Chains A and B, each alone.
Chain A
Amino acid sequence: MIRLSGVGKTYADGTVAVQAVDLEVAAGELLCLVGPSGCGKSTTLKMINRLIEPTTGRIEIDGRDVTGEDPVKLRRGIGYVIQQVGLFPHQKILTNVMTVPLLSGGSRAAARARALELLELVGLDPATYADRYPHQLSGGQRQRVGVARALAADPPVLLMDEPFGAVDPVVRVRLQDEFRRLQRDLGKTVVLVTHDIDEAVRMGDRVAVFAAGGRLAQHATPAELLARPADDFVADFVGSERGLRRLSVTPVDPALLDPVDGVRIGDLGAAIEVGATLEQALAAMLRSDRGMVAVRRGPVMLGVLTPDGVHRALRASLSPAEDTGSTAPD
């Protein structure tokens, strides 16, 4: 568990990068930090592993004040993906990824096996890339090596600064999914910085939205954030298309289905499971070009969803009658 209480950072020239922020990340939770460029996301992240010392406030990990800890030991237990990637230019890709396990005294063979596995995971074929140097990789490839490097030591806590920023959407979605699965399976606590609100909504258990000047504007679940932005800034940041964005977080609601009677089976090109999101439903609808899609739970057909039904579901999800744990700091 990570807890920030009144944490702030003012740079030497007087720039206030972060203003007294209170935040909590439960163990096993993935928190996304989003916000406009320059709002203090990276600064906040680096204060957690003490690459930057806060000017005010206190930071605890599992109840221990980090300022009291040996920074080296602290960081050993925290994976870190740096925004500028920062690969070691003098080491081959494989060696770069093996670095942290070796640091902690692991065996070479184990570190190597793990590194090869992780290179696969981030979509870099070890046969091609393991023996290259960083300058022989493309921008997105380098970034992925950076992610693999941070994952290699299997740290219980991970800090990631725009880990997928330079990667194309196909690979990104794959990485996001893989990473999310890994994180859930292993119960890792993660703080992930992104400027991509879609990524934040898709990946975060909670999302912290920062406003310019390092103010924490809202700290909430993705659904809550989209449904009830704490203020105009958040609403604006989440986007005028936030309704549409909800497509990807709102599940199909059986109550809003049209009855299946009178619909001939031949008219139903595609069918989706009831747990699917509205976005998937709409995509299926467009793919099959039928103006509707069947929704079932296992073998049981529950009804059909029409565009109108999607719209009603969206509207329902935006109505204020929803339970949340949102906090909107002062």
Chain B
Amino acid sequence: MQGKIGKGLMIVCVLSLFIPFAVFAGGQKDDVILIGAPMPLTGPYASDGEQMRMALELAVEEKNAAGGLLGKQLKLITGDVGALEPEKIKAVGERLAGQNVHVALTGYADSGVDARVFAQYAMPYIHADAMTEDALVARKQIADTGTSNLFQYCPAEVAYGEDASEYLFKVPAAMGWTPPNKNIAVVKVDYSYNILAADKFAELSAAKGYKIVVDETIQFGHVEFGPILSKIKDAGASFVTFWDLDPKDAANFMKQFYDAFIDEGIQALVYMQFTPVIPEFLDLAGEAAEGLLWSTTVNPVSDGVADYDKRWIAKFGSEPASSYSYGTRDGFDLWVAAVERAGTVDDFEAVIEELKKTDHRGLTGRIVFDPEDHTAYAGMDYIPTVWQQVWGGRHNKSFPKEFAGGYAYKLPPWVK
């Protein structure tokens, strides 16, 4: 037995000691700028992660072809954060820091942990998690030390709630329809991005005299919505809001809502946060989505979008498939701009100082960081929340007017 202990432990320890060294066997060359990209490449969010990676690949390729950044070539190092487990995000963060990357750049690597992890390092961390969690970390860091290396180049999720409580109730008038009551149904998934937005919406709407009659929390992967739809019908909600990041859940909800009410009709509008922007949604929901309202803060709204699409298609042979195909590029561009203004990539403090001064007109709007929490401003002058209605099998920008292009709301087919 003693012999076994010795041998076992010997093997364990030898193995343990060697593997981490093997990871870093290769040193880095000085003439390359490393971009660390923590993103979900496997697991449930792999679909978004793929688009983020493609966006960065395209960006790096274009920048390198144009002579590189400060005369140096760029190199992308991705790190898979899987299903966004805190443990994995931590490990990826530690690894990227260990590889001395010059910036950590991503569409999202969220759950709130990423900001805490990257706050420990000196290099800038530029992300679009759209999470209040992350903003709070940056806010605290700024309060404590006067600055932060965290930058969120989109508004946090509560912006959805604020915006929806502001605008959703104006839609009926624009449709020429009068809701029978002020009842609201909230169906949200147990995920902070959705919950915080939904709760903000509920809070602000209640303050306006609206009544939350259904407040249902579901888990990701919820399939059978029958009982929830019964509750919505019995409670007589005229605003049905659905907050769930997963396009499968959203499509299932919409299909079942449509099937349940299309014949006899229901006096209600349906609103969704963000999710329909994910391209699968329309494929999955099909005609059931006709008449659906939704909004998102990450939209390709600028004039450069058409040209960007062309370059994307030339490289990958497919269209950009998610808002992160655009957003991630903005993150890249604003960092490049900051580095070029600073004239250095190694002096992180200088780069961060320049990042703070960012006023970047990107694909998704004008990005300016709030000095208090380094989160991009929301609003018409900055990153607009754009409302759309699904009609004719596609998304139609309906509000604000600057983007609407003359589209007028149509009454959903189930309102009879």
Instruction: Tell me, yes or no, whether A binds B.
Output: no
